[in-house]
Amino acid sequence: MEMKLTMKVTCWLGVLAVTLVALPGVARAQEARAPDLVKEALSGFPAQTIRLEFSSPGKLRRLPNYASLHQRYVGPRLRKLVELLGQLGVREDDISDLVLGWQPASSEMGLYGFATGHFNAKDITRNAEQRSITPTPIAGMQAYCLEAGVAANCVVVLENSVGAFGPLTVLTSMLETRQGQLPSLSSDNRFPALVEGVNKDAPIWGVAVGAAVGDWFKGWMPNQGNIKLDWNQVFGNVNSLTYSVAAANDVTLSLKMECASSEAAASLRQVLEGLKLIQQLAWDNQNPGKPNPYKDMSVGQDNNQVSLKLTTGYAELELASGALGS
């Protein structure tokens, strides 16, 4: 069985952690702003948002071996954001916290969000002028875009140390939502409740509903060798997902899914248990003699809720990255 991408679960942890570590920053005073940034997202994200994710790079930057993981795993879409910010004079080290949002798009989930850090409007305006980046007026504010067109990634400074970013059309909706012209994510009662119940002490946590649940799983387990799965069908009866990533001596992914019924939960648990066995065998075949992170992976069910927990060491993350790149 060809298992070229077998360690996607563990890989996802590396991808997510170092993608966000790529934007390191902060201090206790800035970390205190995290709840405010989440409130900003709930009141500023459009109602069409189906996934929200918070990260605390101030905690993530203390990950062992983060530099090498960052080099290998910075996500392409956030890499574009870093490139844009760099042209505006904002370094990676200037960014502290992030809240990302997703909504359905024609080809892939559209990404946007809010960020806090060390930057201000005057410096960004000056750097944009030096690089001949012409501002685009939207919703009474100035956006800076690397490319032309409505799909271009753009940045707006809302106030010193607080900014918003995303495709021009979505960013416009965010600003109009923030100004009360459009319904916000907080108008969807599911999201405030899900955010309230998630483990917000973790450096990374998120919530997802509807199609975003299957999309999230495709991100960390997109291929199982010769097994082909329709992730949207597998998670078709899942109403919501909450997840958190804790990083200390090792990395632990914890998630919970609320299903439409206990029968749907039982069916989903069977699928996840099967994937666990496949991943265990594939890992042993590719990494003989190495600790198998899937051995202690747990999948549980409580009525209509399915839970999953996976703990892995950083050495296994490095092995997983090798499988990804081969």
Taking only the tens of pLDDT, the chain with its 326 residues reads 333 333 333 333 333 333 333 333 333 334 445 558 999 999 999 999 999 999 877 667 777 666 644 554 455 556 666 777 777 887 777 778 889 999 886 555 568 999 888 777 888 888 888 888 889 999 999 999 877 776 778 899 998 888 999 889 999 999 999 999 999 999 999 999 999 999 888 888 999 999 899 888 877 654 444 556 777 888 999 999 999 988 777 778 899 999 999 999 999 999 999 888 888 888 888 888 888 878 778 999 999 999 999 888 777 766 655 544 43
Strand ranges of the sheet holding 136-138, from the earlier edge strand across to the other edge = 136-138, 141-145, 153-159, 162-167, 110-117, 95-103, 51-55, 204-209, 238-247, 251-259, 305-312, 298-302
Strand 305-312 and strand 95-103: the pairing is unpaired
The tokens 């910075």 sit on which residue? 74
Instruction: State residue 259's pLDDT score.
Output: 97
Q: Check residue 117 and give its pLDDT.
A: 82
Q: What is the pLDDT of residue 34?
A: 57
Q: What is the pLDDT of residue 18?
A: 33
CA distance 175 to 126: 23
Say what the pTM is: 0.81
Q: What DSSP state is assigned to residue 62?
A: T
Q: What confidence score (pLDDT) does residue 109 get?
A: 58
Residue 163 class from Cβ within 10 Å (0-12 exposed, 13-18 middle, 19+ buried)? buried
Q: What integer pLDDT is reported at residue 174 of this predicted model?
A: 96
